[in-house]
């Protein structure tokens, strides 16, 4: 018998991931705080519920991808009131490792399994089912979730117990922070030097500077498209978590702190809903 699938959180990433699951498995129970976001999926056959608890009650496997740690806590606190025995919960939000460990422990007491599985690959990866999925949990839970992960991603890694996925995502975000400032400073420099930035990208992308961010965000920058694949405000959240976790380990990551300050300034300027590659404009203003 096919498991009933639940999905909570239909933002830039979640809506595409939910669509892929619905298309593959033919059933999906959904909830988001704004029902309008769910209408396309409802039209495709998904079942709408008015709370996270109702989704949990009517599903065997529940995926969540929401905004901030407080949203994760709110959603899981709500679902804790449902019958949970034998169910599997997978949080794909980027959030605090300690919070995921706490949630996993609470679910275990209720006879449920939990995986923390943050993702990387942006809106494009979510649409195309090519995300990198970083998993923390026990072997049995990962095995149960794998058929769903393979619909949403192409690089699925089991990194260790609950919390390991989030620590891996922090390493990912630290690398992206450095890459993004390099990308944006490079293209601002090229334009100021009077170069055609499309030609510059076509040249340097084939050498040591080639990278995912250059290939995917560079063309958007060149055409002035700063719509989010990943929002500035969510990246600020991620970098703050990474900085906090680093300090707990006795690390002082100066590069990360610099990039976080630049993005925080963008958020203060009302640019929190733009894509992270809009750092190009912020650097151009300096």
Q: Are 15 and 23 in contact (CB under 8 A)?
A: no
**Whether the domain at 5-162 and the domain at 167-285 fall into the same CATH topology:** no
Q: What is the DSSP string of 125-184?
A: HHHHT-EEEEEES-HHHHHHHHHHHHHHEEEEEEEESTTHHHHHHHHHHHHHHHHHHHHH
Q: Respond yes or no: is residue 109 known to be catalytic.
A: no
Q: Which helix (H) or strand (E) holds 30?
A: strand 29-31
pLDDT at 30: 98
Active-site residue (options: 15, 87, 169, 233): 169
pLDDT at 229: 84
Boundaries of every domain in the chain: 5-162, 167-285
Distance CA 5, CA 26 (A): 9
- Spans of the chain below 50 pLDDT: none
pLDDT at 6: 98
pLDDT at 203: 98
CATH superfamily of 5-162: NAD(P)-binding Rossmann-like Domain (3.40.50.720)
pLDDT at 161: 98
154 φ/ψ angles, rounded to the nearest 5 degrees: -120, -15
Q: Which of 172, 276, 284 is nearest to 220 (CA)?
A: 276
Distance CA 117, CA 163 (A): 9
The count of other CB atoms within 10 Å of the CB of residue 63 is 28
pLDDT at 134: 98
pLDDT tens-digit map of 40-68: 999 999 999 999 999 999 999 999 999 99
Distance CA 268, CA 284 (A): 17
pLDDT tens-digit map of 221-231: 999 999 998 89
pLDDT at 81: 86
167-285: which CATH number, 1.10.645.10, 3.10.580.10, 1.10.1040.10, 3.40.50.170?
1.10.1040.10
């Amino acid at each position: 018998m096919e498991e009933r699938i639940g999905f909570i959180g239909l933002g830039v990433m979640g809506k595409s991931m939910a669509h892929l699951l619905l298309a593959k498995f033919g059933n999906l129970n959904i909830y988001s705080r704004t029902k309008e976001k769910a209408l396309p999926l409802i039209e495709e056959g998904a079942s709408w519920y008015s709370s996270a608890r109702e989704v949990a009650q009517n599903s065997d496997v529940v995926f969540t991808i929401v905004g901030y740690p407080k949203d994760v806590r709110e959603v899981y606190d709500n679902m804790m009131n449902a019958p949970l025995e034998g169910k599997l919960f997978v949080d794909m939000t980027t959030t605090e490792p300690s919070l995921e460990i706490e949630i996993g422990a609470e679910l275990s007491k209720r006879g449920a399994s939990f995986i923390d599985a943050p993702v990387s690959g942006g809106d494009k990866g979510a649409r195309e089912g090519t995300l990198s999925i970083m998993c923390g949990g026990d072997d049995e839970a990962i095995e149960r979730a794998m058929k769903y992960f393979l619909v949403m991603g192409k690089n699925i890694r089991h990194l260790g117990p609950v919390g390991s996925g989030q620590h891996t995502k922090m390493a990912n975000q630290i690398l992206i922070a450095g890459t993004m400032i390099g990308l944006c400073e490079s293209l601002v420099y090229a334009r100021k030097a009077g170069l055609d930035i499309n030609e510059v990208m076509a040249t340097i992308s084939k050498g040591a500077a080639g990278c995912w961010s250059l290939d995917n965000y560079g063309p958007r920058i060149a055409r002035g498209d700063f719509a989010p694949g990943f929002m500035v405000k969510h990246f600020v959240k991620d970098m703050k978590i990474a900085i906090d976790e680093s300090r707990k380990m006795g690390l002082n990551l100066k590069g990360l702190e610099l990039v976080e300050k630049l993005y925080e300034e963008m958020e203060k300027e009302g640019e929190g809903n733009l894509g992270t590659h809009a750092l190009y404009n912020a650097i151009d203003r300096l």
